[in-house]
Structure 1
Amino acid sequence: MKKLVLLLLFPGLTLGVFGQRRRTPTPTPTPTTPPTSTPPPLATTQAPAGLFGGPRTGPKPYKDVITDKAVSQKGLFTVHRVDDKYFFEISDTVMNREIMAVTRFVRVPANKGVGRATYGGELTNQQTVTFERGPSNNVFMRVVTLVNVADSGNAIYKAVSNSNLNAIAAAFPVAAYTKDSASVVIDVTEFFKGDNQVVSISPSAKRSFSLSSIASDRSYIQNISSFPINTEVRTVKTFNSSPSLPGGFSPFPSSTIPAANAAGAVTIELNTSMILLPRIPMSVRYSDRRVGFFSEDFTSFSDIQQRVENNKFAVRWRMEPKDEDIEKWKQGQLVEPKKPIIYYIDPATPKKWRTALIQGINDWQVAFEKAGFKNAIMGKEWPDTASAMSMEDARYSVIRYFASDVENAYGPNIHDPRSGEILESHIGWYHNVMKLVHDWFMIQTAAINPRARKMKFDDDLMAQLIRFVSSHEVGHTLGLMHNMGNSSQTPVEKLRDKAWVEANGHTASIMDYARFNYVAQPEDHISETGLFPRIGDYDKWAIRWGYGYIPGNTKEEQKATSNKLVMKALAENPRTYFGTYELGNPNDPRNQSEDLGDNAMKASTYGIKNLKFILKNLPDWTKDEVDQNENIDEMYTQLVGQFRRYLGHVTANIGGVSETIKTSVQDEPVFEVTPKAKQKEAMTFLQTQILTTPRWLMSKSIWDRVKNPGETDPIATAQESVLNNLLSTPRLARLQESTERFGAVKAYSAVELFGDLQKGLFAELKTKKPIDSYRRRLQKSYVDKLNNMINPGSSASGIVISFGGASALSSADISRTDIPSIARAQMMQLKTEVTAAIAGTTDKMSKIHLMDLKERIKDALDPKK
């Protein structure tokens, strides 16, 4: 699966966190070497060496290979074990069929990652392969890369075929033919024992683990099991490992593995699922940027085209009504699907959290009902008697529980690249995600919710938090992207309306990063129902769009029907809005993570009011008999982090440009500047809340316990970050370009930003009040930044203007823009004001500071040669 790098991705997601393809009734894969119509005679003459063995002889009689000692199992491949060898018997019906090879870690050595560690159950490799009969009694395995396609009935098909040849990743000598020659037998022992990239650890994971060559004498096949549509291969592989010396530099993220230091080797247990993809891929649903599904894509060619067509389609499960219920479903009646989506809970999960995880899965049922399906999705505990089941088996989707200190969870999926059909998912659930949700909930809701005012929550509260995270991650595995913009459709004051917010939720999407309702105030008396996220209007709409009936017999008809549905939904309910910075424009202030409401300044003001209340009470709420002030240190850090999120939400409005997807027939602008009044409101907020020293954060009772003088100061760091952000080259350039395009009445210009910022930042020049140490540091930093703009020197080449691809000036040198000119004008004005203020300043340190500023400004305006 392709991932949007966060970036969940990763993650992550994340993690997140994808492509598409228009299909004809029968698939037309890129041609490979044609299969031999009849097998060659059973020769015994010497033949070339096979890839996985030494010199060989030609095929032998079947009974001489698959002897009476063979233990056999039928399935996708009929698997034979003869002594210590494994053979695949591959029928002609499977030859040239596309097969997904999914390799997961089963067990891994103890490790701690620079980014994150690796755990049993996680994905390490995924490929699409085919088997085909080759010349000289060989069977070839090709790795399929789906980029370009054409129907075989088109003349251009030959051109596409000539430029899209799939690589031969392995060659297997034919050991025997079946009696009717309809199947071949190949020895796969050395292939799976060895380090073959198709079914082994990915190159990136090898770099992370510092693995080198495989130790063949300590690597073996544990077992191979075969089922109707899949074959499961369990292997144990030992690699030599020479970890980097402490302090060594590596361009790749790496893991610390004690076994590598102790034994010079690392042993890993893997499971490779080889699952047969459908002969006829699932019908695709063509993507729409107004509905946030992950997508797949590829380029299609045909003789009748006047331009190449890039098809993009949604990644989703195959959710189909039973044959006898199709018409009922089309008419809007609730029906049961042919095959429901089932997620199993890893038996390693602590028992008291299993119900919450299952509830998070089942919460999506209300959304599937909007798509016309009942009993469409469900969570189940892993059966106690599941001796024939394996959590690594590609037929089962599982929430895998990791014994880890990582504060996260992620929801990936494995899907058919030809159609986007999701085949299975292994959600990654780290044990320490409970710390993450604890800290969020305490810092965001403790002002209003007494149950959030302690370091260990009641089990029923933690279960609710786990349920919410479960719902979010399951949403990803259903194909849904983050919807960072949805919370912007809720008026801020509605978040304080007890009846409204308890009925509707503080965001209309569980896929939003809008954790908890931090706007609600104690006097609002809002219950936990109005504090938690839930499956909302957008989620129900997105599942309806992705899994419900959309009429149309052709691509054009389906896209037209889809467009009408989307436009109708947005017109009737703005809370079906989808927006995310993960798909492009990072400058839309609506599409932010961790924010709430339609006005960041109002929402953040309420949030800060709650933080002040929480800060006063943190010492009492974090007390513990054996705690050596770790609790207060940790939660104070979390509180400062929440405060800085508010600052970021507000700053995004300055130079903000919204992007609202429209069709050409709507004849409406897609890009619009954030109104000037809102940008000036944001500047006023920043001047008040951070550029003026936020002394409320300097809790002496806390700082004396956890802050050593001379350590990084959280307030100074936050102030510097905001100033850097405001005066970043991309933001200033965007302000100027927006002023040119939208006009000075609508847009906030860089000249106005500098003027407002400088006026507030140097207010003491007129008031004659003492300038505190934080303000002195900020003022020096401001002057230094203007100096760098006026005199970029040798660093000029490293300062570029970036518009995210939206501007022709994306790589312009700062010296050729208006920015240095504006900066020089501001510096000249500031020189006059500082010079005039020195005489009337009575505070000694303030006067010394201003005299120093005067010299810095003089040097900037007339640098010494």
Structure 2
Amino acid sequence: MKYVMMYGLLLCGLGAFAQKAAPTPAKADTTKKPVAVQPYSKIVPASARKQNGVFTVVYNDNKYYFEIPDSLFNRYFLVVTRYTGTPSGNVSMGGEETNEQTVYFEKASGNKVFMRGVVYRNDSADSTQAIYKSLKVSNVNPIAAAFDIKAINTADKRTVIDVTDLFKKDNPVMSISSKDKGISKVGSIADDRSFIEKIAAYPMNIEARTTKTYTSTSSSLYAAQVAGAITYSFNVSMVLLPKEPMKKRFFDERVGYFANRYTLFNENSQRTQTQDYVQRYRLEPKPEDVDKYNKGILVEPKKPIVYYIDPATPKKWRPYLIAGVNDWQKAFEKAGFKNAIMAKEWPEGDSTMSLEDARFSVIRYMASETPNAYGPRISDPRSGEIMESHVVWYHNVMKLVHNWYMIQAGAIDPRARKMEFDDELMGELIRFVSSHEIGHTIGLRHNMGASSQTPVEKLRDKKWVEANGHTVSIMDYARFNYVAQPEDHISKEGIYPRIGAYDKWAIQWGYKVFPGEQNEEQEHKLLNKLAVDSLTRNPRLWFGGEGKNEDPRSQAEDLSDNVTRANEYGIKNLKRVVAMLPQWTREEGDQYDNLKELHKAAVSQFSRYVDHVAKNIVGRYITNKSVEQSGAVYTAIPKQRTKEAIRFIGRHVFEAPLWLYPDNITNKLGTKVADDILDQQSRYINTLVAPTYLYNLQMMALTTRKNYPVAEYLNDVKREIWKPFGKNELANSMRRSLQRSYVEKLQFIINPKQVKEGWIKSNAQRDDTRLTVLEHTKKLRAEVKAMAAKNPKYAAHYNDIVHEINKILHEQNKL
């Protein structure tokens, strides 16, 4: 098919414009006399400091110059700006990206050089179409900066421009993004407090370190409050993109890759179309190995993917970070390559190598309190080709994985029962984090649905789980096997995440090289067949997305195909862990800070378990499919699964979870137990009786095969709330509060403010749902009257409830 493609890349501060397919020299303002070009020796004397690279960088008389070869005019550079230092309290941290743009330099008349920002890229399969000409004349790239030509290096055919102000001052290409400026309320730049630290040249990139100070009115940044200004330090990378872009690979929603988006214009089509292309490394067999590769023989790639370990990394952790990278080798074997990916220690004695050189991907170590790690990529926006990556590993990620492991695995692994893990255990946890982040750098998104493909009882099957792992993807937030019980005797092989079946399949789909000279559309057909065949044979290869939709199978940090049953096991283990926290967190001289931190982690884990289950009440299963695959894309959650979820919440939330707050913890921390539990109960009753929840259930009952009427649902919820009181008066008090809250929620649906004002905003209050709630409330009144007669001890409470319901019904009769 003949078409024209237009790629939209948002440039912060430049807006959305369009670029000609082949940039042509621009015309400068001819009304002004051109600036005189100086002799080269005057601008670049023999005493000037020079560094050769993609451009020659010259430093002379406190100014920086670029010598741009003629061959690199109109060549695309990806400019990535990252923070290297931020003010205290800033949302972003050192190492994080703030800006990414594509630029090119072009010569203009009047002895000028323009730097244009690329915001649309036209990539034409057939430039003879009339629509192509329309795009060409209507899409002009903005001029981001203009430079006078200072001199010409005639010997090397290089043009000299002064770039001091480009890097020192504020501009939309090499500074804070407009979004970040808004968050930190950044104002104008202070020239007297902004400077260039250094600019260095490498074979395919320029690296600049700068410090910039801005005025700020932020109330959240201490520096802005004290000085009215905030100072950042930046690293700016200008990476030369390939002259010929790599062949694109169409994105497929059934496989989780990061992607770049294009808009397709085709005069033979009646509409524009969007098309996404995945981000991946350029991995190809060597020319002499193509025949072997096509026969299915594993071959080494022409250029393997290599990650280096930052020499600042503590030596004892380096082997584990390396192992986390090398673990991906078996995945790339599915794509036909051996030794395709590897990690090495940085050769510290080699002065020809630099951590900032874009030819090298590095796992950077940050001595930061941030408990995190992440794996960004620099990719060619024209094709999705990953140019390089810097995985950022913060020192305090060890605190994060320590707390996860103690809380989730402490019941089944004795090694997890102390505040300072042995190096071997911590190393293994670092290895798992390394593997996950490397997955991102090679193009893979999170697959939060991966863990749902493991049957819950298999997680307790020692032989099975140790052989297969507890999730099919390292790209899930599956963390650790919290389902396994102490009596199952599961070893570490059945506790940690690992490279799984989905990861191998995803790498095969993204990196397999097909024989012949197929174009992108022909290759797309082959990939679609691969996806259909693979998913038909093995449905466990399902990509569940980032966990942001309504599908309860796709959630962060859950496990198994039945999260309600899985989290029953999880709570059993959590009870064991909470009981032992005072002992496990004990360290000499500690004033219960450890206990406070880990108890908070335990409470969060408990809430996470309940949240996982609650998502099964209102939602749908979503399984992306092509037309070649049978079955529905959207299916209702089974009614029985929803009923199980309601009973789970009744058992573990509406029955006050006092076990989570034992005296030997709360009397050390001063925890307000009743407040904490009431907050939890209030949150879930607000969810279960929310108007939107009830409306969605009503619509499901009418439009799907899930025959679960709202009346039946409310009776199930009521059954969990209106249970008999027990012997514990604190729990009884909280249940009475819960029952009052339940009646308040019914009041909101029956007599909303909008009804009194003569109009209704909520669908749940406009349709039959309100009538159902009204009838439910009338029946509840009769039941509560009976409770008052049978339980004289609590008659005052029940009679008060009846009184409140009468007020609700009386108010309703006035409408």
TM-score exceeds 0.5: yes
Residue matched to 2:619: 656
Question: Which residue of the other structure, out of 688, 694, 713, is the alignment partner of 1:726?
Answer: 688
Contact 1:122 1:426 in 2 (8 A): no
Q: What do the CA deviations read for 1:227-246 (whole angstroms, capped 9, x no partner)?
A: 332222333x34144454xx
Q: Is the 1:516–1:531 contact (alpha carbons within 8 Å) kept by the matching residues of 2? A: yes
Q: Deviations over 1:542-587 (max 9, x none)?
A: 11111112457133322221122112222222331210245x6x22
Alpha-carbon distance between aligned partners in 2 of 1:230 and 1:424, rounded to the nearest angstrom: 11
- Secondary structure of the 2:681 match is helix
Q: 2:421 aligns with which of 445, 450, 457?
A: 457
**CA distance, structure 2, for counterparts of residue 580 and residue 772 of structure 1:** 42
Shift of 1:666: 3.3
Written as runs of structure 1 = structure 2, the 5 A alignment for 1:802-841 is: 813-841=763-791
Q: Distance in 2 between matches of 1:443 and 1:748?
A: 36
Residue 105 of structure 2, aligned match among 120, 131, 136: 131
SS at match of 1:476: helix
1:146 aligns to 2:123 (yes or no): no
Are the structure 2 counterparts of residues 573 and 668 from structure 1 closer, same or farther at C-alpha, using a change threshold of 3 Å?
closer
Which residue number corresponds to residue 4 of structure 1?
none
| Pair 1:354–1:33, CA change in 2 (3 A) | closer
Q: Which residue of 2 aligns with 1:79?
A: 57
Which amino acid letter does the alignment assign opposite residue 222 of structure 1? E
CA distance in 2, matches of 1:445, 1:118: 30
1:511 and 2:486 equivalent? no
Q: Aligned pair in 2 of structure 1 residues 496, 134: CA closer, same or farther (>3 Å)?
A: same
Once residues 243 and 768 of structure 2 are traced to their aligned partners in structure 1, the CA distance between those partners, rounded to angstroms, is 60
CA deviation after TM superposition for structure 1 residue 451, in Å: 1.0
Cα pair distance change 1:33/1:636, threshold 3 Å: closer
- Amino acid of the residue matched to residue 578 of structure 1? F
Equivalent-residue separation in structure 1 for 2:142 and 2:8 (angstroms)? 22
Contact 1:764 1:770 in 2 (8 A): no
Displacement after TM superposition at 1:817 (Å): 2.4
- Change over 3 Å in CA distance of 1:147–1:712 after alignment to 2: farther
1:722 to partner: Cα distance:
1.9
State the match for 1:60 in structure 2.
38
1:784-803 pair list within 5 angstroms: 784-794=744-754
Question: Equivalent residues in 2 for 1:229-248 (5 A)?
Answer: 229-235=204-210, 237-242=211-216, 244=218, 248=219
* 2:742 match: 782
What is the CA–CA distance in structure 2 between the aligned matches of 1:654 and 1:378, rounded to whole Å?
A: 44
Per the alignment, residue 112 of structure 1 pairs with 89
- Are the equivalent residues in 1 in contact too, given 2:374–2:437 (CA < 8 A)? yes
**Shift in CA distance, 128/165, structure 1 to aligned 2, threshold 3 Å:** same
Of 164, 172, 175 in structure 1, the residue corresponding to residue 147 of structure 2 is: 172
Do the aligned residues in 2 keep the contact of 1:212 with 1:239 (CA within 8 Å)?
A: no
Q: For this pair of structures, how many residues does the alignment match? A: 795
Higher deviation after alignment, 638-647 or 393-402: 393-402
> Which residue pairs with 1:469 in the alignment?
433
CA, structure 1 residues 758+109, in 2 after alignment: closer, same or farther (shift >3 Å)? Answer: closer
Classify the secondary structure of the residue corresponding to 2:208: strand
Alpha-carbon distance in structure 2 between the residues aligned to 1:240 and 1:514: 42
For 2:251, the aligned partner's letter is S
Partner AA of 2:809 in structure 1: L
Measure how far apart 1:431 and its partner are. 1.6
Q: Which amino acid counterpart does residue 554 of structure 1 have in structure 2?
A: N
Q: Deviations over 1:629-660 (max 9, x none)?
A: 22222222222221221111211111231011
Alignment of structure 1 residues 675-714 onto 2, 5 Å? 675-709=638-672, 713-714=675-676
Whole-angstrom CA distance in 1 between matches of 2:806 and 2:26: 84
Deviations 1:586-645 (A, max 9, x none): 221111111111111211111111122222222222222312222222222222221221
SS at match of 2:72: coil
Tell whether 2:814 aligns with 1:854.
no
Paired letter, 1:409: A
**Structure 1 residues 326, 306: CA separation in 2 closer, same or farther (over 3 Å shift)?**
farther
- The aligned counterpart of 1:742 is 704
Matches within 5 A, 1:489-508: 489-508=453-472
Q: Offset of 1:126 from its aligned partner? A: 1.5
**Is 1:563 the counterpart of 2:528 in the alignment?**
yes
Q: Deviations over 1:782-806 (max 9, x none)?
A: 1111111112215999x99xxxxxx
Whole-angstrom distance in 1 between the partners of 2:619 and 2:732: 32
1:344 touches 1:379 (CA, 8 Å); kept in 2? yes
Instruction: Tell me the SS of whatever aligns to 1:312.
Output: strand
**Matching of residue 520 in structure 1 with residue 484 in structure 2:** yes
1:487 corresponds, among 419, 426, 451, to 451
Superposed displacement of residue 712, structure 1: 6.6
* Aligned residues of 1:209 and 1:256 also touching (Cα < 8 A): no
Give the conservation status (yes or no) of the 8 Å contact 2:121–2:382: no
Contact 2:256–2:506 (CA<8 Å) still a contact in 1?
yes
Q: 1:216 aligns with which of 182, 185, 191?
A: 191
Mapped partners of 1:543, 1:715: distance in 2: 45
**What's the CA shift for 1:770?**
11
CA contact 2:8–2:119 (8 Å) conserved in 1: no
Q: Corresponding residue for 1:647? A: 610
* TM-score of the aligned structures, taking structure 1 as reference length: 0.86
**Helix, strand or coil for the counterpart of 2:243?**
coil
Letter in 2 for 1:445: A
| Cα-Cα RMSD | 2.9
Match of 2:572 in 1: 609
Query: 8 Å contact 2:87–2:221 — kept in the other structure?
Result: no
- Determine helix, strand or coil for the equivalent of 2:792: coil
State, as a whole percentage, how many aligned pairs show the same letter.
Answer: 48
Matches within 5 A, 1:173-212: 173-179=148-154, 183-207=158-182, 211-212=186-187
Report the CA distance shift for 1:220/1:556 in structure 2 as closer, same or farther (over 3 A).
Answer: closer
Verify the 8 A CA contact 1:346 1:381 in the aligned structure 2: yes
Identify which of 423, 437, 444 aligns with 2:408: 444
**Is this contact kept in 1: 2:19–2:121, CA < 8 A?**
no
After TM superposition, give the deviation of residue 477 of structure 1 in Å. Answer: 0.9
1:547 corresponds in structure 2 to 511
CA contact (8 A) 2:37 2:150 kept: yes
Aligned counterpart, 1:9 = none
Q: CA deviation at 1:838?
A: 1.8
1:64 Cα offset (Å): 4.2
> Deviation of residue 358 (structure 1)?
1.4
**What whole-Å deviation, never above 9, does each CA across 1:762-788 have from its counterpart, x for those lacking one?**
133999x99811111111111111111
Contact 1:400 1:429 (8 Å CA) reproduced: yes
2:76 to 93, 98, 106: 98
Which of 583, 593, 596 is 1:630 aligned to? Answer: 593
2:371 corresponds to: 407
Aligned partner of residue 575 in structure 1, secondary structure: helix
Q: Which moved more, 1:72-81 or 1:308-317?
A: 72-81
Contact 1:89 1:184 in 2 (8 A): yes
Q: 1:30 maps to what in 2?
A: 20
Query: Aligned pair in 2 of structure 1 residues 222, 848: CA closer, same or farther (>3 Å)?
Result: same
- CA spacing shift, 1:298–1:611, aligned 2, 3 Å: same
Deviates more, 1:320-329 or 1:173-182: 173-182
Deviations 1:438-461 (A, max 9, x none): 111111111111111112211111
Contact 1:149-1:299 within 8 A present in 2 as well: no
Q: Secondary structure at the match of 1:772?
A: helix
Q: Please list every run of 5 or more consecutive structure 2 residues that lacks an aligned counterpart in the other structure.
A: 1-6, 10-17
**Inter-partner Cα distance in structure 1 for 2:191 and 2:600:** 49
Letter of the 1:684 partner, please give it: R
Partner Cα separation in structure 2 for residue 214 and residue 222 of structure 1 = 17
Worse-matched range after superposition: 756-765 or 594-603: 756-765
CA shift in 2, pair 1:450/1:770, >3 Å? closer
* In structure 2, C-alpha distance between the alignment counterparts of 1:452 and 1:770, rounded to whole Å: 33
Amino acid corresponding to residue 527 of structure 2 in structure 1: S
Segments of structure 1 that go 5 or more residues without pairing to the other structure are 1-18, 22-27, 49-55, 249-253, 801-810
